[in-house]
Structure 1
Amino acid sequence: MKNKYLSYISDKHLLSCIENLHNSYLRAKADISKKKFYKNKIDVIKLTFDSRFNDLDEKTLIKAEISRQIDKSINNSIGTFHEEILGGIKNYEMGTLSGFDIKAKNDTLFADIKNKHNTMNSSSAESLFQKLARYADTYKQANCYWVQILSTKSFNEHWVSIINGKEYSHSRVFKISGDQFYQMLTGEKTALLDLYMVLPKAIDAFLKSNKKSKIPENSALTEISVGAKKSQRTILDEITFENYSYYLGFDKIK
């Protein structure tokens, strides 16, 4: 039976990948409590500038910060989405807590997938190169790739770089853009474009068959607002006090 969406993975697999990402959205947007909102310390200095320079009232400001936290979580899930798509291509598979994201079943290819080209610092880049080099040394027939799904150009080249003052190169360690990696695994030049083009239709089909999921409201803003009312602080001052009351003088915020 001919696939409805893409030639290189089944319709069932594509819809399953979309469902997994949808669930990630639901989890990220699920009831964000004050405790969860405060998990990473809030940059109240930045929020102060945001409120003044962007002319935002406090509630709009906090909603924007909640959205930013949600978006950060979703960005990680988008990378997983690509791993799942690529792992559904014939002769390839995903890694699960195994040190690689994608491999050829015959051990001739190993890859680490990054959704964006600029998500690593120098220490992370050094660690990744060393890991890929170890795979290349262990599997003598394997080419190993740092895959940048969204990059600044289309390329497939040896990864040669000076990282933390050390020169790194290996005959079978490469870096590659998302379009060329999709082409390599599928044999189809426009494989990534094809995925992009079918997504609206496939997502609509998934949502149509999955009407039961509803995203609960966030409680963080309500909890903070209640606390601010009791303490007679502004919402921003309440956040500052609750995050930094142990800083010198901050316990006196009124």
Structure 2
Amino acid sequence: MKRQDLMKNKYVNFISDEHLLECVGNLNKSYLRAKNNITKRNFYSNKVDTIKLTFDAKFNDIDEESLIQSEILRQIDKSINNSIGTFHEQILGGIKGFEVGHLSGFDIKATDETLFADIKNKHNTMNSSSAESLFQKLSRYADDYKKSKCYWVQILAKNSFIELWKGEINGKEYSHSRVYKISGDQFYSLLSGEDDALLQLYKALPKAIKDYLHSIEHNNSITENSAIDEIKSETETSKRSILDQITFENYSYYLGFDKL
């Protein structure tokens, strides 16, 4: 597609409006799933630290219901972080000449197999073992595809850069002539040919999200964050505070806690 045709796009120059809206829609569905998954059972699955929540409530002067809602939102946020990475993969996979990996061992590749990439949303999401495993994986791609360059992409990096990935990991020296690490802005630019591609996306998102939400019918039957309603329902009969109810339901097998 010629650049002058792309310039007619409503949102960004490097992917179609339809593809961008599809990616926004996929992420919206992830948000809805995350919200609807926070039932009481799921909320309790990792054990709630009610001692910390007691400090939070008293030191920050937050009422218990608002506090629990914040904790629920924190759990939702953990789930959404993975979906944000997938959003970037889908956006980049919509650029002509590139495609998404779909559980193939890479996140993005060039259709002519001259590029392979693994995308991390944040620069600090890997421990040393994960970094070592990723380097080894990218090195294998570089060795198997002699004309390829392979990238560890950090969407949210501490600087703007593209450089060979080399150094010591777990006490071993690693380097490869075609294995790189790259910041999100540089990777968007590399694939799209647009220096400001990531900025374009950032500036387009409010409009694209608004347009997407206007295009769908809102389902009034969606129940979000049912955990708080389930817990409050229990307090009506137990006469406990919300925090005491959570503590009882999480730790009634602890000495004396069954008397709350």
Give the TM-score taking structure 2 as reference length: 0.91
The answer to whether the 8 A contact 1:149-1:177 is kept is: yes
CA distance in 1, matches of 2:256, 2:106: 45
| Deviation per residue, 1:15-66 (Å, 9 max, x gap) | 1111111111111122631012112222223212211221111111101101
| 2:54 counterpart residue number | 48
Determine whether 1:211 maps to 2:217: yes
Distance 1:26 1:180, change over 3 A: same
Q: Give yes or no for the alignment of 1:176 onto 2:182.
A: yes
Please tell me whether the aligned partners of residues 114 and 149 of structure 2 are also in contact (alpha carbons under 8 angstroms).
yes
- Which residues in structure 2 correspond to 1:1-254 (within 5 Å)? 2-30=8-36, 32-214=38-220, 215-247=222-254, 249=255, 251-254=257-260
Which amino acid in the other structure matches residue 19 of structure 1?
G
Distance 1:151 1:203 in 2: 24
Work out whether residues 123 and 156 of structure 2, in 8 Å CA contact, stay in contact via their aligned partners in 1: yes
Residues 38, 76 of structure 2: 8 Å contact kept: no
Structure 1 unaligned regions, length at least 5: none
Q: In 2, Cα distance between the equivalents of 1:35 and 1:92?
A: 41
RMSD of aligned Cα (Å):
1.7
Quote the Cα distance in structure 1 between the aligned partners of 2:120 and 2:106. 12
> Following superposition, which runs of at least 4 residues in structure 1 exceed 4 angstroms of deviation?
none
TM-score by length of 1: 0.93
| 3-state SS in 2 of match to 1:167 | strand
Identity, % of aligned positions: 67
Q: How many residues align?
A: 253
SS in 1 for 2:58: helix
Measured in 2, the distance between the counterparts of 1:191 and 1:18 equals 17
Distance 1:228 1:250, change over 3 A: farther
CA contact (8 A) 1:101 1:113 kept: yes
Give, as a single letter, the amino acid of the residue that structure 1 aligns with 2:131.
A
| In structure 2, C-alpha distance between the alignment counterparts of 1:132 and 1:8, rounded to whole Å | 26
Contact 1:78 1:115 in 2 (8 A): yes
Query: For the Cα contact (< 8 Å) 2:120–2:154, is it kept in 1?
Result: yes
